[in-house]
Amino acid sequence: MARHLIPDFLESMFFLALVGVAFAGSNAIQHEAGLLTVTVLGVALANQKKVSVRHILAFKENLRVLIISLLFLMLSGRIEISDLQAVWQKGLFFLAALILVVRPASVFLANLGSNRTTFREQLFLALLAPRGIVAAAVTSVFALQIKGAAKANPENELYAQLAEQASELVPLVFIVILGTVTFYGLLAAPLARRLGLSDANPSGILFAGADPWIRTVAKGLVNEGHHCLLLDTRYEKIAAARLDGLTAVRANILSEYAEEEIDFAGLGHLVAATPNNEVNSLAAREFQHRFGKANVWQITPADVDAHHQKAVANHMRGRFCFLGGPRFSELSSFCRKGAEMKKTLLTEVFTLEDFKKTHGENAIILFKEDEDKVLTPVLSNTEKIEGPVTIHSLVIEQDDVETKALKRKEANAAKDNRVDPEQKELAPEQKS
């Protein structure tokens, strides 16, 4: 691959064939050595830095779902309902022992003296250990081997007893698999939220870039209780962000470090907002697998209206965010003029049209927040934002008579909807 001797479209098939040859060859040399061989091969591929194997990993994920599904069908097809009925009491007792004793003991004993994990994290690990295809496959192999040994040695009473008990192994393990997957599957998400280790609907914003206007936007969102993380390669920008009380990391959004080592907990959206449109497009494509296509955004590039010969292809970009599609230069200019973040409640009384009349060209709507506090960037070509919904905007304040009247209307609408005045940012005229 490093010398490009394999055509790109054959790389996945080549590795699949290589895995098969390695597995079969190892088993031919030493019985059951194939599993160890392909495991070592996988570890080696994942940790080498010479060539990229991400596209092969994507193929592997699809293959895994297919093969594991078929393997479960094959293994479970050997079990009769009567087999499960014969061992269900033993199975439930064994299942309870695994969930209540074995797993908690192994986790807490393994973390004795450790300061790398908190008690909440240890508790979560102690209550999460679903069994799956490895247990089913290995148990089936053991059972077949024991039965084969009993047939080969019919005069040996010990083998005969083991063979009788081996028939219970597979149904017992399938009871454990069904029980652990059901128990942990239903428990994991609510437990993680209860322990504060997960968000039910993460909507924090990962900003690629830490320019002054981004810091202004992020600071306004953080002040309203939203999680924001800023990435930039310039030390002075990261230092300024940290001085503003923001979480910022000096890293390239396209680096391996950003992909694998940064904690994205609580973040649900990427907003690629660097001055380089190509970097924004690449970042949007690279993070689609993490956030999903619907949650990967970039500021509107300068070449959006250019001829298709010069503009970046649409399929290589993220969704364009912020109402009206402001460019990087427009957002920077807005902040240089003193724009600040403002939170506004849109209702049937104070609508989007009223907001536009109030602020005119002196406001850019960036985000909307629903009643559940879920934050979402506003799509650039959005035509309607129907309330009740809260919008977050960059606003340059005005003081003319008409604006004051509309602001009073906005304040009255907020009161009618019983909005907490402590959470409402009001102009000085409204406060007086």
The pLDDT tens digits for 81-123 are 888 888 889 889 999 999 999 999 999 999 988 888 888 889 9
Q: Cis link prior to 388 (omega < 30° from 0)?
A: yes
Taking 70 as the threshold, does the pLDDT of residue 416 lie above it?
A: no
Q: What 3-state class would DSSP assign to 271?
A: strand
Tell me the DSSP string of 191-212.
HHHHTTS--SS--EEEEE---H
Q: Cβ distance 171 to 87 under 8 Å?
A: yes
pLDDT at 422: 43
pLDDT at 134: 81
Convert the pLDDT of each residue in 2-13 to its tens digit: 888 988 889 889
Report residue 138's pLDDT band, with 50, 70 and 90 as the boundaries: confident
CATH class of 204-328: alpha beta
Q: How far apart are CA 250 and CA 261, in angstroms?
A: 13
Taking 60 as the threshold, does the pLDDT of residue 46 lie above it?
A: yes
Q: For all residues of the chain together, what is the average pLDDT?
A: 85
pLDDT at 401: 45
Taking 70 as the threshold, does the pLDDT of residue 412 lie above it?
A: no
pLDDT at 402: 55
Closest-CA residue to 304 (of 293, 296, 295, 313) = 313
Taking 50 as the threshold, does the pLDDT of residue 374 lie above it?
A: yes
Bridge-partner residues for 343, per DSSP?
A: 392
What's the rounded mean pLDDT across residues 30-41?
91
Q: Which comes out higher in pLDDT, residue 44 or 429? A: 44
Q: 221: which 2 tokens?
A: 């969102």
pLDDT at 409: 66
What's the rounded mean pLDDT across residues 121-147?
86
Report residue 168's pLDDT band, with 50, 70 and 90 as the boundaries: confident
Q: How far apart are CA 323 and CA 336, in angstroms?
A: 19
pLDDT at 428: 45
Report residue 45's pLDDT band, with 50, 70 and 90 as the boundaries: confident
Q: Cβ distance 325 to 300 under 8 Å?
A: yes
Going by DSSP bridges, is the β-strand pair 296-299/228-232 parallel, antiparallel, or unpaired? unpaired
Percentage of the chain beyond pLDDT 90 is 37
Q: Cβ distance 366 to 423 under 8 Å?
A: no
Q: How far apart are CA 341 and CA 255, in angstroms?
A: 30
C-alpha distance from residue 247 to each of 196, 221, 366 (Å): 19, 12, 20
C-alpha distance from residue 246 to each of 118, 249, 338 (Å): 24, 10, 20
Taking 90 as the threshold, does the pLDDT of residue 390 lie above it?
A: yes
For the chain, the distance separating the N- and C-terminal CA atoms, rounded to the nearest angstrom, is 71
What's the rounded mean pLDDT across residues 174-188?
89
Percentage of the chain beyond pLDDT 70 is 91
pLDDT at 189: 83
Taking 60 as the threshold, does the pLDDT of residue 429 lie above it?
A: no
In single-letter form, the type of residue at position 219 comes to K
What's the rounded mean pLDDT across residues 184-191?
87
Report residue 67's pLDDT band, with 50, 70 and 90 as the boundaries: confident
Q: Cis link prior to 171 (omega < 30° from 0)?
A: no
pLDDT at 430: 46
Taking 90 as the threshold, does the pLDDT of residue 315 lie above it?
A: no
Q: What 3-state class would DSSP assign to 378?
A: coil
Q: How far apart are CA 346 and CA 389, in angstroms?
A: 5
Taking 50 as the threshold, does the pLDDT of residue 431 lie above it?
A: no
Q: What 3-state class would DSSP assign to 345?
A: strand
In single-letter form, the type of residue at position 217 comes to V
pLDDT at 115: 82
Which value, to the nearest 10 degrees, does the dihedral of the CA atoms of residues 27, 29, 31, 32 take? -40
Taking 80 as the threshold, does the pLDDT of residue 387 lie above it?
A: no
pLDDT at 239: 95
- The CA-based angle 300-302-306, given to 5 degrees, is 110
Is residue 113 packed enough to be buried (19+ CB in 10 Å), middle (13-18) or exposed (0-12)? exposed
Report residue 417's pLDDT band, with 50, 70 and 90 as the boundaries: low
Place of tokens 């098939």: 13
Residue range(s) occupied by CATH 3.40.50.720 in the chain? 204-328
Alpha helices in 224-262 (DSSP H): 235-243, 256-260
Closest-CA residue to 292 (of 326, 261, 260, 264) = 264
Convert the pLDDT of each residue in 348-370 to its tens digit: 888 889 898 888 888 999 999 98
Q: Cβ distance 135 to 184 under 8 Å?
A: no
Taking 80 as the threshold, does the pLDDT of residue 413 lie above it?
A: no
Tell me the DSSP string of 77-94.
TT--HHHHHHHHHHHHHH
Give me the helix-helix angle, 11-29 and 34-47, nearest 10°: 140
Q: Cβ distance 230 to 204 under 8 Å?
A: no
Q: Cβ distance 173 to 139 under 8 Å?
A: yes
Taking 80 as the threshold, does the pLDDT of residue 403 lie above it?
A: no
pLDDT at 295: 92
Taking 70 as the threshold, does the pLDDT of residue 65 lie above it?
A: yes
Per DSSP, 293 falls in state: G
Per DSSP, 379 falls in state: B
pLDDT at 405: 61
